Structure 1
Amino acid sequence: MNTAPDSSAEHDPEDLTPSKSARKREMHALQAIGTRLVALSDNELATIPIEDETLREAIDLARRLNARGGLRRQMQFIGKLMRTIDPQPIEDALQALDGKHQATAAQFHRLEALRDGLIESGDGGINAVLAALPQAEPSQLRQLLRQHRKCLAAGKPSAVPRKLFRYLKSLDEISNDY
């Protein structure tokens, strides 16, 4: 006599509720979103579409808390509140912020590489800068390079790399405005 359940019987997927582990993973994911919201700056948080006033107040309170235990409980409360709303608009806004941060970091690294190439190549690297940023003034680039060489020859620390980076960044911002 076979008392094992019939494995060929079809089960309706809608009848199955998520497992306890799946529910906990979802709750932790929502709490992680809440943690990211608390860590944002005021300007970044203002861009996130949080329509639930209770959630907004809970996030503001968590940003003011210093006690670890209180902050942990507040984060759990934020996770609980996140379960009552649709988190998709918040997730989309956080992804958009991540994209902005990545674009800013890529721009920063590109300008650093341009600056470092100019310093290493000297006057020969000016053409590379002019190819990337046509509105750059070659005379200003040469002047900054001369200042850098004088500082190095005198054994002093040079502030020129920083000045050069600021100059390249301002040129890049001007070119992006067009």
Structure 2
Amino acid sequence: MSQDSPRELLEQLIQQQPDDDERPSKSQLKREMHALQALGEAIIAMTPAERARFPLSDDMLAAVEETARVRSHEGRRRHMQYVGKVMRREDLEAIRAVYAEIEQETLRRDHAFHRLEKWRDRLLEEGDAAVEAFIADFPDVDRQALRQLIRNAQRERERNKPPASARKLFRLIRDTAGL
């Protein structure tokens, strides 16, 4: 199967609608089927809350639920072919829109976590100047807990101990930022 992401495969599939006067080649049909299977696998891999956002038919929802019961490798392969077949009848434009929306939310969440990780690293490396900058950005933070966690994390780092306080510091930063 192709190494493209399900979104790329879906976009290719939508763009490759054949002309009325020309039948698609067997290879083209296979590529489309693999793209639909990959999209089905991506939907199956999502959380139930994310999956609920997709405009899926009852047949597709049943196929998704059935996937959890399939144990054997060959059975799963055949079932994924069935999922691809059922995907042919779905509204691909609407599915693509929801998939893109979920992908954007994931990117935003990842960027937010990277910013929080940078704050944690900055607090541990720069000390009081970074603490004052953090307090200026987030005035509701528990200052005493913040300073205590920074001191504990710095000690852990010096002694090459597991970063338990650094994790607690990250949680405090995340909760303060409201993520």
Question: TM-score, with normalisation over the residues of structure 2?
Answer: 0.79
CA distance in 1, matches of 2:52, 2:86: 19
Q: Which residue of structure 2 aligns with residue 33 of structure 1?
A: 39
Unaligned runs of 5+ in 2: 1-18
Q: Which residue of structure 1 aligns with residue 84 of structure 2?
A: 79
Counterpart secondary structure, 1:64: coil
1:104 maps onto 2:113 in alignment: no
2:52 to 46, 56, 60: 46
CA distance in 2, matches of 1:41, 1:80: 22
Task: Kindly provide the CA deviation profile for residues 127-175 of structure 1, in whole angstroms up to 9, marking residues without a partner as x.
Answer: 23234423324333222222334445666544211111111111111xx
Task: Read off the aligned partner of 1:146 and give its amino acid letter.
Answer: R
Counterpart secondary structure, 2:127: helix
Q: Is the 8 A contact 1:33 1:91 kept in 2?
A: no
Deviation at 1:108, TM superposition (A): 1.0
1:15 to 17, 21, 31: 21
Task: Kindly provide the CA deviation profile for residues 78-127 of structure 1, in whole angstroms up to 9, marking residues without a partner as x.
Answer: 11111123222122212211111111111111101100110011222112
Q: Which residue of structure 1 aligns with residue 151 of structure 2?
A: 146
Q: Which residue of structure 2 aligns with residue 24 of structure 1?
A: 30
Deviation at 1:49, TM superposition (A): 1.7
CA distance in 1, matches of 2:48, 2:115: 28
2:135 to 121, 130, 134: 130
Question: TM-score, with normalisation over the residues of structure 1?
Answer: 0.79
Q: Which residue of structure 2 aligns with residue 171 of structure 1?
A: 176
CA distance in 1, matches of 2:156, 2:85: 59
Task: Read off the aligned partner of 1:36 and give its amino acid letter.
Answer: A
Task: Read off the aligned partner of 2:31 and give its amino acid letter.
Answer: R
Q: Is the 8 A contact 2:60 2:87 kept in 1?
A: yes
CA distance in 2, matches of 1:156, 1:30: 48
Q: Is the 8 A contact 1:39 1:63 kept in 2?
A: no
Q: Is the 8 A contact 2:146 2:172 kept in 1?
A: no
Higher normalized contact order (CA 8 Å, seq sep 6+, divided by chain length): 2
Unaligned runs of 5+ in 1: 1-12
Task: Read off the aligned partner of 1:92 and give its amino acid letter.
Answer: A
